[in-house]
Amino acid sequence: MLKKIAYMIIFALLSSSALIASPVALKSDFIIKNTGNSWTAGEFGNEVGNANVDANESVGIHFYLLSRTERISKVKLQGLVTAIDMDNELEDLGDGEAFKKTIATLKIENNTTDGFLVGVNAGGAEDLHSNSNYVFTSSSSEDGEVSIPYHLNFDYTPANPDSGTQVGSMTDSLPNGTIYGTVKIDENRVYSVIIAKNIMTEPLKGELAIELEVANAEQLKFAGKYKATNRFAFIDL
């Protein structure tokens, strides 16, 4: 599907004194109406051929330029982490140091002028301020397990650092960062918009890194089996 078809129509009325090379004429009997001292409306035929231009006569020529650019709007998930071995991951952390780990990267390409959104749904929340947002939940509480809060941090890197291409409105962290609206999709789950890119001024290509952060990493050292669900949506506008 073509997103963009641009036509440029150029009309030229040439006098014999302005000709450098023989023009391609639409019709040898092209007529200029009511010229006076300046060119006015002309009648163009649709036959292309060579024409000789005599003194004090003229021909009209025209051509069009067609530009076609294929539509690109795609996202690719890579480097996804589905499990974390806390015994090894926490071994090198100092006292009071937060646990941080990049859990996925989204490769984004878009060349549609109206842009796109990227949203995240944490914990399957069906409303914006659900208690299931951004917490690890335990499968039991028999050993005194409690929910562990976490953050998601976001960092966008353009494919060509010298191009200056950047996303528009973007938050750097949730749940405490700025939310650029919400979108209900996926069985009416609420997705918080983390990137809002519209009125594109140039095509965009880059990577969005998603980092998991647990501020109080000591909580992860206690016994328990925890899980958290995060869903991401790429929405073409």
Residue 170: predicted pLDDT:
92
Please give the full DSSP string across 144-202, using - where no structure is assigned. Answer: ----EE-EEEEEEEESSTTS----SEE-SEETTS----EEEETTTEEEEEEEEE-S-SS
Regarding pTM above 0.85, the answer is no
Q: Indicate if 98 and 47 belong to the same structural domain.
A: no
Q: Indicate if 155 and 119 belong to the same structural domain.
A: yes
Q: Indicate if 195 and 143 belong to the same structural domain.
A: yes
Q: Indicate if 50 and 105 belong to the same structural domain.
A: no
pLDDT value at 209 more than 90: yes
| Rounded alpha-carbon distances, angstroms, from residue 30 to 26, 52, 53, 57, 159 | 8, 12, 11, 10, 53
Q: Indicate if 63 and 157 belong to the same structural domain.
A: no
Q: Indicate if 226 and 176 belong to the same structural domain.
A: yes
Q: Indicate if 28 and 97 belong to the same structural domain.
A: no
Q: What is the pLDDT of residues 63-74, one digit of tens each?
A: 556 667 888 999
Residue 76: predicted pLDDT:
92
Closest CA to 106 of 73, 76, 72: 76
Q: What is the pLDDT of residues 27-60, one digit of tens each?
A: 444 444 544 444 434 444 444 556 677 777 776 6
The last residue of one of the domains, among 46, 69, 92, is 69
Share of the chain above pLDDT 90, in %: 20
Arithmetic mean of pLDDT, 13-33: 43
Arithmetic mean of pLDDT, 177-193: 86
- Quick one: 160 exposed, middle or buried, by C-beta within 10 A (0-12, 13-18, 19+)? exposed
Arithmetic mean of pLDDT, 211-237: 87
The last residue of one of the domains, among 69, 101, 125, is 69
Q: What is the pLDDT of residues 146-184, one digit of tens each?
A: 888 999 999 999 888 776 656 878 999 999 888 888 888
Residue type for position 188: N
Q: What is the pLDDT of residues 121-152, one digit of tens each?
A: 988 767 766 656 898 888 888 888 888 899 99
Share of the chain above pLDDT 70, in %: 69
Q: Domain range holding 187?
A: 73-236
Q: What's the CATH number where 141 sits?
A: 2.60.120
Q: Indicate if 102 and 125 belong to the same structural domain.
A: yes
Domain count, the chain: 2
Q: Indicate if 57 and 86 belong to the same structural domain.
A: no
